[in-house]
Amino acid sequence: MEPNWQLARKQATIIKRARILEKIRAFFVEQGFTEVETPHRIPANAPELHIDPVASDGWFLQTSPELCMKRLLAAGYDKLFQICRCWRAGERGPHHLPEYTMLEWYRRDCDYYQLMEDCEQLILGLVNNKSWAWKGEKIDLNIPWPRLSVADAFSQHSSTLLSEVTDVNFFSELISTKIEPALPKNKPVFLVDFPVLQGSLARTKPHNPNQVERFELYIAGLELANGFSELTDPVEQRKRFEEEEMQRKAAGKPAGPFPDKYIKELQTLTKAAGIALGVDRLTMLLCGCETIDDVVCFTPEQL
Amino acid sequence: MYNCSDLKKGLKLMIDGDPHVIVQYDFTKPGKGQALYKCKLRNMISGALFDRTYRSGESFEPAHLEEREMQYLYQDDTGYVFMDKKNYEQIVLTDDTVGDDKYFLVDNMEVEILMHGERGIGISLPNFVNLRVTQTDPWVKGDTAAGNNKPATVETGYALQVPSFVEEGTLIQIDTRNGAYVTRVKE
């Protein structure tokens, strides 16, 4: 029998992927970050309307390591990073796997502006060049990368103004169909300052209680990272989680247990910021691969 | 009933009373937003193509179509000709009906034809077909890395990536569900 060529053909990319992981670790270690490992299987994830966790023997597989990592911050740790697996039920497409690799990093006494600079430095270091190409499109990496507010993006690319959007599903529909396709492909862009309904763990803007200090990094139209200044008010956090749970119930989705320890310990956290970046998608960009299938050893269909 | 997570290229659904087939499928989901299941559908009766976007929570009625075992004979100006091996009755499927399935049809191949009354409206291909490579670059001596690939074209005109050791004239097995190379076939 001939070796499985659909596995064999990915070998060069898998070798590059291993180098990328090494370089990501080196970048954070160099800057004084500590790599941590928190459990993949947890009693409760942060409730989110559109993220469905996978049940595991009475608990759940993590949809993100954020709750455990922020509990460490609240306990006094600083500058943490983790590279780990996350699971999200039913997500499968050219840019989605139900099990995928996430990079998250957290800083105390910082806000989301620092995280945007971290993204610029991390990715510039990985590319080792001021420009590169993906899907035939040249990408200009000169910093600072443009920052576009969600409100401005809506006035530029949608016939609906952000102020007119009250429904969360309508908001995400416009993001998918109007905003994302209109974002520049030839340079990275930070989409910043989301409505409060779209950032249940993020801190509100100092002068605008309807918006949160949250950003999404897009490169070549690919959504790569989501970062924010962390909400540290336990009362407000409980309220936001309850709102998400209510929306889940209204959508006919099962309610999960509440992450009570997280909410309780949040009161010992002051200022902090954290971010999640999709390692598989970053690898797609860096290796010139067009689908996420090409950058992992096995897709679910290959198991 | 199907739900959104069942949607994929090739799935057949009943919509407004007519059978439809998904000819293109894409899944998008902004991190915190809802998933969108974008489908290009073909009405299997009228041939009309159109785009539909579905959201989680929607469900779909499967299209149960009568299948007839037939043999593919040949292609001519009228389209693709198939024959029922029991009664020798012949039917013709148009180019539009056959679509990309034409790349996986070889003479005398046995397939299931999906019927609407007396009319053939689609093909149910076997999961794997064997096709001969008609064009590819020669194997470079010394290129022994198992993962190296190169473009190739098979007898039906279908182009795909194959391992570097596959040569012209080789019979290869292709997975019709994703169009990918599986292995060389021993003859």
Scan residues 90-149 of B and list those with Cβ closer than 8 Å to A. 145-149
Q: What angle do CA A254, A256, A260 make, to 5 degrees?
A: 160
**B9 to each of A93, B24, B42, B113, how far by Cα in Å?**
12, 6, 11, 18
Q: What is the DSSP letter of A256?
A: P
Mutation target vs A (from B32, B164, B165; most A CBs, 10 A cutoff): B32
pLDDT digits (tens, 9 = 90+) for B43-78: 999 989 999 999 988 999 999 899 999 999 999 999
What pLDDT score does A169 carry?
86
Tokens of A53: 């966790």
Question: Where do the domains of chain A lie?
Answer: 5-142+251-302
* The two three-digit tokens of residue B53, written as one number: 């976007």
B28 min Cα distance to partner chain A (Å): 7
Q: What is the dihedral of CA A71, A76, A80, A82, to 10 degrees?
A: -30
Amino acid at A159: S
DSSP string, A211-223: EEEEEEEEETTEE
Task: Give the separation between CA B156 and CA B104, rounded to whole angstroms.
Answer: 7
Which three-class secondary structure state does DSSP give residue B181? strand
> Which of A1, A4, A5 to substitute to test the interface with B, most B CBs within 10 Å?
A5
Decide if A81 contacts A247 (C-beta within 8 A). Answer: no
Residue B88, SS3? coil
Tokens 């093909």 locate to B123
Mean pLDDT, residues A200-204:
90
The neighbour count for residue A245, using CB atoms within 10 Å, is 17
Indicate the burial class of A57 (C-beta count within 10 angstroms; 0-12, 13-18, 19 or more): exposed
Residue with tokens 């049940």: A55
Given an 8 Å threshold on Cβ–Cβ distance, is A2 in contact with B183? yes
Q: How many residues does chain B have?
A: 187
**DSSP reduced 3-state for A101:** strand
Secondary element (H or E) of residue A70 = helix A66-74
* Interface check A34 vs B, CB under 8 A: no
Residues of chain B found within 8 Å of residue A2, distances taken between Cβ atoms? 183-184
Burial of B108 (0-12, 13-18, 19+ CB in 10 A): exposed
* C-alpha distance from B111 to closest chain A C-alpha (Å): 25
Question: What is residue B143's predicted lDDT score, i.e. its pLDDT?
Answer: 65
Predicted local distance difference test score (pLDDT) of residue B146: 60
pLDDT at residue B27 above 70? Answer: yes
Which has the closest alpha carbon to B179: B136, B129, B111, B124? B129
Rounded Cα distance, B46 and B49, in Å:
9
The answer to whether the CB atoms of A176 and B33 lie below 8 A apart is yes
3-state helix, strand, coil in chain B (%, to 5): 5, 55, 40
Task: Label residue A19 by pLDDT band (50, 70, 90).
Answer: very high
Q: Which two tokens stand for residue B180?
A: 């990918």
| Out of A103-107, A206-210, A217-221, B91-95, least confident range | A206-210
| A166 CB neighbour count, 10 Å cutoff | 9
Write down the ipTM of this complex.
0.86
pTM assigned to the model: 0.92
Fold of A5-142+251-302: BirA Bifunctional Protein; domain 2 (3.30.930)
Average pLDDT over residues A164-182: 89
Q: Sorting pLDDT into bands at 50, 70 and 90, what band is A168? A: confident
- What mean pLDDT, rounded, does chain A reach? 94
What contacts B64, CB < 8 A, 6 or more positions away? none
CB atoms < 10 A from the CB of B113, how many?
Answer: 24
Residue A290 touches chain B, beta carbons under 8 Å:
no
Half-sphere exposure of B40 (CA within 13 A, CB side): 7
- Report the distance separating Cα A260 and Cα A246, nearest Å: 17
Instruction: Report which DSSP code applies to A5.
Output: H
- Give the residue from A175, A195, A33, A192 showing the smallest Cα distance to A112: A192
pLDDT value for A213: 96
Min distance A214 CA to chain B CA atoms (Å): 12
Q: Which of A79, A290, A80, A281 is nearest to A188 (CA)?
A: A281
**Which amino acid is located at A167 in the chain?**
D
Q: How far, rounded to the nearest angstrom, does the alpha carbon of residue A280 sit from its chain's CA centroid?
A: 12
Of B138, B126, B139, give the one whose Cα is nearest residue B182: B126
Report whether pLDDT(B145) > 70: no
Instruction: Output the pLDDT for position B152.
Output: 97
Phi first, then psi, for residue A9 (nearest 5°) are -70, -15
Shortest Cα–Cα distance, B42 to chain A (Å): 21
User: What is each CA distance from A129 to A139, A236, B135, B152, in whole angstroms?
Assistant: 11, 43, 38, 34
